[in-house]
Structures are given as C-alpha cells and as structure tokens.
Structure 1
Amino acid sequence: MTMKWHFTLQLAGLLLLAYGEAAGQTPSLDWLDLEATSVHQITGVSVDGRTIVGIARDEAGRSRAFRWTAQEGVQNLGTLGGLRSKALGLSADGAVVVGVAEDRYGRPRAFRWTAEQGMQDLGTLGGLESEALGVSADGAVVVGVAEDRYGRLRAFRWTAEQGMQDLGTLGGNWSKAMAVSPKGTVVVGVAQDSRGRKRAFRWTAEQGMQDLGTLGGWESEAMRVSAEETIVGLAQDQKGVWQTFYWTPESGLHKLSHGHSAFARPGVALWGVPAISLNGQYLVGTIYHRAHHRVAVFLLDAPKLNLALREDRDRP
C-alpha cells in the first residue's frame, strides 16, 4: 500500500475557526522575508512565532522539508537518502521538526530532525512506510501513521525510550494519529471501527483508544488537541454534512458554531493551509492577492486566537 503525501486541507477551516471577532483584540500581521514562490506549504510555527516549517520546492521542482528563521533564512532539511521530504510539525521552541522523507529506496519514512542530530528515520511497525504528523511541545513524543508487517496503516506514538508503539484501532483495519497534546500524553486522530466507519479517537496510555462519536452522522475525524485536552475535529451531522466539533472530557462532543472574519478581505485568498502554534497565538501561511498577482507569507500574532473557541465551548 502506497502512503499518500498529504496535509488535510480541512484543517484550514479548523485553524481559522479558532479566531473570531470575540477575540476583542486586534491582531498584528507581519510579512516575512521568505521566498513564497519556492514555498509550497506552511505546516508549522513555533510558540514565539520565530521558527516556521513546511514544504518548499528545490531547483528540480522536488518537495523538500524546510525550516525558516529570520536569522538563518530558509534551511533545506534534506532527505533520508531519497529525493523528497516534507516537514509537517515542530516542537514549541522550533528546535525539533518532524515529517516524512524518502529513504534511498524511495520509501516514505517518518523523521525527527534536530540541528545536532540531523534527520532521523523513526522506522515503521514492521512494514515499509511511515509518516510523522505531530510532535509534543518538548519534541520528545512523535505521532503519526506507519505500516505494520501486514501492510496495514496504524496510528503510532514514538519516544526515544520506547520506540514506535502501535496504538491499535477501534475494531477496524487502520488508524492514523493526527496530533498529540503539548505534554505528549493524549493522542488524537481517526480510526476505522468494526463497521468500517471513520471515527475520531482519543488515546491515552491509561484508557487506550476511545471513540469520540459524531454529531449524529456516521463518521468523524479528530485533528487537534490543546493543553487543556480540548479536541477539535470534523464530524458528520444527521444529514451527513461535515461540521467542525469540539470535545472535552466533561461535556463530550459538540458542534463548534462560532464563525470568523479575520481573512475576509476583497481580492485576498489563503493559498495552501495555514498553521497554528502550540500555544494558539500565531497563525502562519501564504496568501494570494489577485489584483497584484502576488503571493506573500504572513505571520498573524493574535494573543486571543483561542478565545473564540473557549467562549463557544462555554455557551449553554
């Protein structure tokens, strides 16, 4: 089974929904000195907004994982011996980067990168391919998806001490870990249940994999988890329409209804998928200005970025 290289486009809606007029504070917007024409996608930003990671194109048009700081500029993180790589997440301070890179056999493999150790292949669960999609605040815990020895895709949690751990499924054949809490203790994602449905899950070492349910429909996906263990994702309602949800241990799963208007400007459109920092303060991405045919990279500093989510969660 060939693992697709992707970053879920639906995440854009989740990130933007975290910012709303209820924030009550005007965010600051900075334009970064970053060659947007070579940047294909922004996928992560550090909690101080000073380090950005994502996917760029090299001279041959191949995707390469990059890390950017104002001091060092764009840094090509290389590969595991192959031609392509993608950075898909970073630690709170930006020192640890995770993602997927081709090895010398052309196989996509999950990696963890630091300036001291370079790019490390995290291995698989007995199969050929793997992909790292999230990392804890301190960079010690990495989560993602990997093939087992039967070629099935399974959610994993990796640490240097324990290696790669198979998190199981909800009774089906596959699962995928999309994110991990800042402390590394809660993993969220999507897994197949015994009836073949995609279901959002929450995993902890104590409770294992828990089905978070839906909004009355059949399927759901969990995509982000906060330090307070609030989970955000997508779920089908009774009509089969996908809606954004939030879940907490106290209240369970509910529809997130608060809107946003931060990027509703004439002639300006988001290009690719914006990324959010672990502390919810910074939003980074690329925009396209139609009138000027210009692409630029922005950094939105919004101290109240998560306020809209919290206010919606507290509504009766």
Structure 2
Amino acid sequence: MPFMLTRSMLLALTTLLALPGLASAQTLITVPNASIVADVSSDGDVVVGSGAGGGFIWRWREDPAPLVIGGNDATAVSDDGLVVVGCITDPIEGAEVAARWTLATGWVSLGFLPNALNCPSKSNAYDVSADGGTVVGLSWDGCSGRGFVWTEATGMQELAVLGSGANRASAISDDGSVIGGFAQGFNRSPVLWYPDQSGIELDITAGGEIYDFNKDGSLALGNWNGSAFFMDTSTLSKTFIGQLNPGWSGIPKAITEASDRVVGFDVNQLALEGWTWSPGGGMKSLASYFSELGAQGVPSIVDVAMAMSDDGSVIVGRYGFFPSKAYIFNAGIDPWQDAGAGLAGVAGVPLMIGSGDLNVGSLATLDTSSAAPSASAWLIIGLTNLSVSFKGGLLVPNPEIILGPFSTDATGALSLSSLWPPSVPTNTETWWQMWIQDTAAVKSFSATNGLLSTTP
C-alpha cells in the first residue's frame, strides 16, 4: 500500500510555494527588452530573437533573463541551443553580413558571395540545421538575390539559380537534407534545393514561399497563392489549410513532429494575425487558442507565430506595434520532466517517475524503484535546481523541504501520492529527488534521478 504525503507535509510545501516572489511567470511570457522571438529549440528550452542591444539567447526555464549577444539580430538556433545564426555589421565592408554565434567565439562572419554588392546587406542568415553546422540564407550577385548554403568545410556556396534569378533560401530541415525558399517568377514562387546545390521550381507561376520543414525534411510548409499548405517533399503532394481571414495570405511557420499542429500568421498589407491549425479543430486565432488553454493577459490579437517546439508545447513570436513585444507561450503539455543525475546502489541507479496532471485536486504520485530493499529514504523538494556534489552523487533540488524517513519495500520500491493542493501557482517549477540509505553505494547513500514538475 503506498505511503500518503500527509496534510502537514503538503502544508509545508504549499506554504513555501506561496511565499512572495516564488510564483513563476504566467503561461504567456513577455520577453523583456525584446521585439521578436524568432526561433525556439526543438525541446522548447532555448529561444533566440532580437531587441534592444541586438540579438539575444534565453534558456528561459533556467535563467532569469535573456543573454544579450549583440549583432544586428538572431534568427535561428541549433537544437542544443549552442549555435545561433543571424546578422552583424562587418566592420571592414561596412555592410550587414550573415554570421554565426557561439559562446566561445562570439559572432563570426560567414562572408558573402563573390559578386555581392551592398543591397543594402551583402548576406543574411535565415536558418540553421539542428546540429548548427549548416546555415542557409540570402546573398547577392550584384543586387540580384541568391540563395546560399554554408558549412565550415565548404564556406558559402551559391544554390542553383531558379526562376528569373531573385532567390532566397529561407529554411533548412533539421537533418540538412532539404532547403526551401523562393525564386522570382511573375512574383515570389516556392522552391526547393538540395545539399548538392541543385533545386526545383514547384510552379514558377504560383506565388508563395517555403518557410519551414519537419525534422527529416519529409514535409515542407509554405504559402501557395495566398493559402497556407504543407507538402510531401518526395511526391510534392500538397495539403492546403487556407488562412484565418478571408482574402488575407496565410503564412505557416512551424509544424509539430506528429503533424498534428501548424502555427503561423495571416498578412494583409500591414495587418497581421497569428493562428494555429489542427486536423480536428481547423484554424483558430492564437489569441483564442492561448486563452482557451488558460493563459492570462492575452492581447486581443497575437500578431505572429514564428516557431514552435517539436511537441507543440512552446510557441514563440511577437504581438503589438510601436513597440512590438516578443512572447513565449508555454502550453505545459507534460508536467513532469526527468532532470537526470542519480547515484547507484545495490540494485543500480534508483529510478523515480512522477505521474498526474497536477491540476487542483488531482492525484500526484512519485514512484521509486530499483532502490535498496527495506531501506530508509528521504524525499528532497526544492523550487530551484541546485545540482551540487553530495555523498558521491548529485543533489538536484535546492533542499528547501526534506520529508522522511520513509521505507522502501522488500523489492526496493516506494510510492508516495496525494491530491495536488489548490495554492500552487500556475507554472510553478518544483524539483524532486529521493535519497536512500544503501550500504552498497559509494558513501552509503544512493539517489534517484531528479524530477522537475511544472504546475499547469
């Protein structure tokens, strides 16, 4: 039979969580001193964009504020959040050029194509592969636009010139297998390129552009004569999803890996309105979608969705004009995340799994397994990730509450459960870890992995 966390234990937790200053931000987060969030890592943890001081990067679940990295802007980020691409002003050329940033190197120019003039830039970076190794964007032949692909090994290479010659590479799949953008025909027309620099025109009479791909490049997102669509890149078969407002142009910007949600925005001259689309629910405004999921302080119009995490739980973009404001929307789809660490004992590294949706009154459970049998155990709870060396392992939570001792059963298992209390604010992050007496462990204590819970 599982142990129950007692009312007094929960009172201690909820009292701690109710202290002034400990509630986390609302579900819709306005990024300080920023005008747009341009991209988000696939896991949703890292965002990049532009604002006062140029580009920024923010590990927003961990760090209290964005890191301003300078340059002119930041347009895309690698999956691990270690590589950012954007633009800087080249001090020698006196013109804007594509650039790549890491913490070790700062901004480094990617150069420009040989015949590029100041138009007014000489090159611009638009996207980067998941590993940060391949960058695509725009450079020039004179002042006629050319798509480019850059790697450290090859430098900047011109992509095949399609249409009448005014080209731009706007997106690359995470695996680097396919590149998308536009070529000029009668107007902008969606096109695809490949790593060998070859390319194809889908229909040079059709207006539009390719804006994004899923991870392996099997699906492309784009606009076709005003309608948002996604397309199988092997068969070129298109699925049209339209636009939110009749007569406007639908611009899709991101798709989940499950292909069950697309986000983007409509444009009509200077007017913009963000939207989300799903196969069952069709298209609805971002303002409605955010409000339905419980976000507070949502503006009447959320202008633009620029990017989305692979699971759809984090959406980023901007809203408002003069000044525009950058936002992060956190849907909080999975309230439990494995924080790693753990210290081996007699049965290996103990495992702790959290379950329950953490809505008020719902059952929340912590299940520990592979611990020493019939041993004393303590649950460590904190509101921040400390991750310091302790007893030969890593103590993950800042130990603000210590509950126990409990006792594992004859199989080394322990289950703790209780109803989730009403006084825990939305988006509160709590860190959990179990430490167990274990004579086989390096200093007579083993430990589970850490867990991070986020209240929806």
For normalisation by structure 1, the TM-score amounts to: 0.71
Shift of 1:298: 2.9
Q: State which drifts further: 184-193 or 153-162.
A: 184-193
Cα distance, 1:287 vs. partner? 4.7
> How far 1:192 sits from its partner (Å)?
2.0
Instruction: Answer whether contact 1:46 1:52 (CA < 8 A) is retained.
Output: yes
Whether the aligned pair in 2 keeps the contact of 1:40 and 1:272 (CA below 8 Å) is no
Listed as ranges, the gaps of 5+ residues in structure 1 are 1-28, 59-63, 80-84, 237-241, 289-293, 305-316
Equivalent in the alignment of 1:121? 109
Determine if the alignment matches structure 1 residue 67 to structure 2 residue 57. Answer: yes
Query: Could you tell me which of 300, 305, 309 is aligned with 1:277?
Result: 309
Percent of matched pairs sharing the same residue? 28
CA contact (8 A) 2:137 2:168 kept: yes
1:276-295 matched pairs, under 5 angstroms: 276-277=308-309, 280-287=312-319
The whole-number CA distance in structure 2 between the counterparts of 1:295 and 1:132 is 22
- The residue type equivalent to 1:300 in the other structure is N
Runs of 4+ in 1 over 6 A off after TM superposition: none
* Residue 260 in structure 1 maps to residue 248 in structure 2: no
**Aligned counterparts, 1:1-316, within 5 A:** 30-32=27-29, 34-35=31-32, 38-58=33-53, 64-69=54-59, 70-71=62-63, 73-79=65-71, 85-104=72-91, 105-126=93-114, 127-128=116-117, 129-148=122-141, 150-193=142-185, 196-205=186-195, 208-213=198-203, 218-228=206-216, 229-236=218-225, 242-248=226-232, 249-250=234-235, 252-257=237-242, 258-264=282-288, 265=291, 267-277=299-309, 280-287=312-319, 297-301=327-331
Structure 2: distance between partners of 1:267 and 1:31: 10
Alpha-carbon distance in structure 2 between the residues aligned to 1:301 and 1:45: 14
Q: Deviations over 1:12-45 (max 9, x none)?
A: xxxxxxxxxxxxxxxxx7344742xx21111011
SS state at 2:79 partner: coil
Asked whether the 8 Å contact 1:49–1:299 carries over to 2, the reply is no
For residues 232 and 71 of structure 1, the distance between their equivalents in structure 2, rounded to whole angstroms, comes to: 32
Question: Which has the higher mean CA deviation after the structures are superposed, 87-96 or 100-109?
Answer: 100-109
My pick for the range that moved more, 87-96 or 246-255, is 246-255
**Residues 75-121 of structure 1, C-alpha deviations (whole Å, 9 max, x = no match):** 22123xxxxx0101111111110111212254111011011111110
Question: How far is 1:170 from its partner?
Answer: 1.7
Partner Cα distance (1:110, 1:270) in 2: 29
SS of structure 2 residue aligned to 1:169 = coil
Question: For 1:218-273, what per-residue CA distance to the aligned partner results, in whole angstroms no more than 9, with x for missing partners?
Answer: 3221111112421111111xxxxx11111112352331253135522585321555
- Aligned equivalent of 1:11: none
- Contact conserved, 2:182 with 2:189, CA < 8 A, in 1? yes
Query: Which string of whole-angstrom CA distances, capped at 9 and with x for unpartnered residues, describes residues 144-165 of structure 1?
Result: 00123x3321000100001111
Q: What amino acid sits opposite 2:188 in the alignment?
A: K
| RMSD between aligned residues | 3.0
- State the one-letter code of the partner of 1:123: G
Amino acid at match of 1:49: G
- State the Cα distance separating 1:53 from its structure 2 match: 0.7
**Separation of aligned partners in 2, 1:184 and 1:176:** 16
Give the whole-Å Cα distance in 1 for the aligned partners of 2:311 and 2:198.
26
- CA–CA distance in 2 between the matches of 1:211 and 1:295? 36
Structure 1 distance, partners of 2:151, 2:80, is 18
Q: By how many angstroms is 1:133 displaced?
A: 0.3
The match for 1:14 is: none
Higher relative contact order (CA 8 A, sep 6+): 1
| Separation in 2, partners of 1:166, 1:146 | 8
User: What's the offset of the Cα at 1:282?
Assistant: 2.3
Deviation at 1:206, TM superposition (A): 5.5
Per-residue CA distance 1:38-84 (angstroms, 9 max, x = gap): 211110111222211101124xxxxx1111123262222123xxxxx
Q: How many equivalent pairs are there?
A: 252
Shift of 1:175: 0.5
Instruction: State the one-letter code of the partner of 1:40.
Output: S
1:56–1:153 CA distance, 2 compared to 1 (3 A): same
The 1:259–1:302 alpha-carbon spacing in structure 2 relative to 1, beyond 3 Å, is farther
Q: Does the 8 Å contact 1:41/1:273 carry over to 2?
A: no
Task: Give the secondary structure class of the aligned counterpart of 1:54.
Answer: strand
> In structure 2, what residue type is equivalent to 1:39?
A
The answer to whether the Cα contact below 8 Å between 1:137 and 1:278 also exists between their aligned partners in 2 is no
Distance 1:163 1:278 in 2: 29
Looking at structure 2, the residues matched to 143 and 302 of structure 1 have their Cα atoms a distance apart, in angstroms, of: 32
| Structure of higher CA gyration radius | 2
